[in-house]
Structure 1
């Protein structure tokens, strides 16, 4: 990339792979923007990671965001063959591999018996929760986007599975890495105490 600015987007449009440029407020543009946001969130997780294993995993997950962006581009340009190749080569086994990590980490944690409030976490823990929430938003936008495509590649299911499993992985890693938060019932006790003080 020899030049950062092209001025082509000054009119509020961008290129998403489709024949015509789209508004930056279009659903496809919003989807691609959310992929970028997740990339940044995972980079932040890498920055705050205290364990080398977590740091390496976050780096790999951040890189996968670039692959997702490429797949959306290929689908938009009706190049299902290239999209299908990327999906089968990169995503077919990812969900299963993530499940292995989730199960392994979950064995080290106390079972959850109630909802947790995302407070009292370290920076490492809360950034993992932030990445999880961003993944959920991306998953919602991706699901809506696929419904607008006339003939999406059949292997798109692997990416859908990946996004669903990614949020589970990030939630588990957040709990492992000082993101256990506060039990919901505990906050009721705290609130009662605060009111009593007044």
Structure 2
């Protein structure tokens, strides 16, 4: 959720909880932005960096989906994750208070439990790795790797927000940590066994790129056809 989203926003009904009546408001021209509780803060606030990175992660997931090359099960999972990332952003942009009159949307342990269950489900059929993976593969898998690294950054900036403020929900950082794990697993599932593994110091041997790719596949111990 971007800071811009909070401006000109009103509450709707249960089916349409947010109504955007105006996109530009000029209220942020002084370097401040509105938070979910209608207070204002500087745009350099670590809290804003956190939910801005969450928004970027959501956009990166959207690009991966737009490639159209992901298995249906992964695509459906990512669509649910996109909605949850909006929940994370909504949580981060609303300072935690005791006994609020109108309880805001918060990330709970149930969000994390769902991610862990998905990690276990998708990881069950994968073979153990014998090295780290070089990010890449087909277009969809490569974009998933990009999304994964943006999620990792979002987790780091969320921890920075937690260090700067005592009114940030720590479960948002936990959620992003588990999501980065799930994204890594989904990258492996999408690659279908055609992963290229890191060979420490391989460039010292001046091996051609094609040789490095073949060696990586051999180290993985499987091919896309084998994985099918």
Aligned mates of 1:57, 1:41 — CA distance in 2: 15
**TM-score, normalised relative to structure 2:** 0.70
Aligned runs of 1:1-198 on 2, under 5 Å? 1-17=20-36, 21-48=40-67, 49-75=69-95, 78=97, 81=100, 86-87=105-106, 91-119=108-136, 121-150=137-166, 152=168, 156-178=169-191, 181-185=195-199, 188=202, 192-194=206-208
Work out the number of aligned pairs and report it. Answer: 188
Q: Secondary structure at the match of 1:67?
A: helix
Aligned mates of 1:124, 1:26 — CA distance in 2: 34
Q: State the structure with bigger RCO (CA 8 A, min sep 6), 1 or 2.
A: 1
Structure number having the greater helix percentage: 1
Offset from partner CA, 1:150-185 (integer Å, 9 cap, x none): 355xxx343332211100100000011028542112
Post-superposition shift, 1:30?
1.4
**TM-score, normalised relative to structure 1:** 0.79
Offset from partner CA, 1:103-153 (integer Å, 9 cap, x none): 22223222111122113x11111111111111111111111211222355x
Pick closer, same or farther for the CA change 1:178–1:164 going to 2, 3 Å: same
RMSD: 2.9
Offset from partner CA, 1:70-95 (integer Å, 9 cap, x none): 2123216x4664897633xx532232
Give ranges in structure 2 of 5+ residues lacking alignment. Answer: 1-19, 210-228
Q: Do 1:31 and 1:141's aligned partners in 2 also have CA atoms closer than 8 Å?
A: yes
Offset from partner CA, 1:50-74 (integer Å, 9 cap, x none): 2222222111111112211221232
